Amino acid sequence: MGIDIEGYLAENKRLVDEALQSYLESGSPGQTKLREAMRYSALAGGKRLRPILMIASCDAVGGEREKVLPVACALEMIHTYSLVHDDLPSMDDDALRRGIPTNHKVYGEATAILAGDALLTDAFGLIVNKGREAGIDSGVLCEVVGDISSAAGSSGMIEGQAVDLLLTDTEEVSLGDVERMHMLKTGAMITVAVRTGGRIGGSNGNDLKRLASYGSSIGLAFQIIDDLLDIDGEGDLGKERGGDARHGKSTYPEIAGIETSKRKAAELTRNAILQLRDFDGRAEPLREIARYLGCRTF
């Protein structure tokens, strides 16, 4: 059942990059640098983890990749907006992202805020407009808009960022606090990526639950490993190492210790794969992505 996971990731990253580029280059150029600033961050590379997970989840239930692609790109636009806003001076005040200067360093703070707003706003239009062109049923599209709004909004990612800011420089942060923050800030969007792929692929209630549970497990594992890499990793992160400590952020490994964190990440990875036990060979990419993420160098 072995698949070439690196090939699979590269092929789907290329699909997402090309589609994103075509969506972001269509439309009138406008009078301002707004669209340039949107493209700057959205086309700056990145692993494309969320859209690839959505595609892999659609593959896992035998859905059509052409249908899911525009929605996958919209989710990546929402992820990108969140990075642009998180990097702002009043938030994490970061100068580097994905190896290049952050949006506000290049375009100024006002344009960076607007570029983030526009990536978020345009993403919802992309879902319904390109989703219908691709043949997704309107009822399914409404579910998808509701799911993604919920994952990205005030009960999901944005609350996660607010909790992150609250915990920053706070004494006595518990492991539960950090876990809840990660589940909201990163987990919700990764979970909705996987759930949405299944939904567009035509999956039913119980399978959707299992896919969501897979997503929520790898979401937390991903974040714990990210935090481990920030302390002690090898290779190029595209940003300065040690940023968490410098920003006064409490991380999972800092509170639980490095060994416990590694064990937790491995356990979450196993649990994610276990959720897919009733899926057939078409779910192999999802399983391999979990293994691949669980084995990142640290």
Q: Under DSSP, is residue 100 helix (H, G, I), strand (E, B) or coil?
A: strand
Least distance in angstroms from the C-beta of 171 to a copy of itself? 16
Q: Are 57 and 10 in contact (CB under 8 A)?
A: no
**285: Cβ contacts below 8 Å, ≥ 6 apart:** 3, 5, 8, 56, 59, 60
Q: How many CB atoms lie within 10 A of CB 177?
A: 16
127 binds a copy of itself (CB under 8 A): yes
**59: Cβ contacts below 8 Å, ≥ 6 apart:** 65, 197, 201, 282, 283, 285, 286
Which of 216, 215, 249 has the alpha carbon at shortest distance from 231? 249
187 binds a copy of itself (CB under 8 A): no
Where helices occur in 183-283 by DSSP H, the ranges are 188-200, 205-232, 243-246, 252-256, 258-274
Q: Is the dihedral of CA 39, 237, 91, 194 positive or negative?
A: positive
Least distance in angstroms from the C-beta of 51 to a copy of itself? 18
Site string for a copy of itself, 27-66 (x = CB under 8 A): xx-xxxxxx--x----------------------------
DSSP code, position 235: S
95 binds a copy of itself (CB under 8 A): no
Distance CA 71, CA 38 (A): 18
193 binds a copy of itself (CB under 8 A): no
Q: Which region, judged by CB under 8 A, interacts with a copy of itself, from 10-18, 80-88, 210-218, 223-231?
A: 80-88
Would you say 35 or 282 has its CB closer to a copy of itself? 35
Q: How many CB atoms lie within 10 A of CB 45?
A: 12
114 binds a copy of itself (CB under 8 A): yes
Q: Rule CB under 8 A: choose which of 90, 171, 236, 259 binds a copy of itself.
A: 90
Least distance in angstroms from the C-beta of 115 to a copy of itself? 8
Q: Which region, judged by CB under 8 A, interacts with a copy of itself, from 1-9, 159-167, 209-217, 280-288?
A: 159-167
Q: Which region, judged by CB under 8 A, interacts with a copy of itself, from 41-49, 123-131, 202-210, 218-226?
A: 123-131
The residue count for binding a copy of itself (CB under 8 A) is: 57
Least distance in angstroms from the C-beta of 30 to a copy of itself? 5
Q: Under DSSP, is residue 44 helix (H, G, I), strand (E, B) or coil?
A: coil
Q: Rule CB under 8 A: choose which of 16, 72, 113, 211 binds a copy of itself.
A: 113
Phi-psi region of 148 (alpha: psi -120 to 50; beta: other; left: phi over 0): alpha
Q: Which residues bind a copy of itself (CB under 8 A)?
A: 27-28, 30-35, 38, 81, 85, 88, 90-91, 108-111, 113-114, 116-118, 120-129, 131-132, 137-139, 141-143, 145-146, 149-150, 152-155, 158-159, 161-163, 165-166, 180
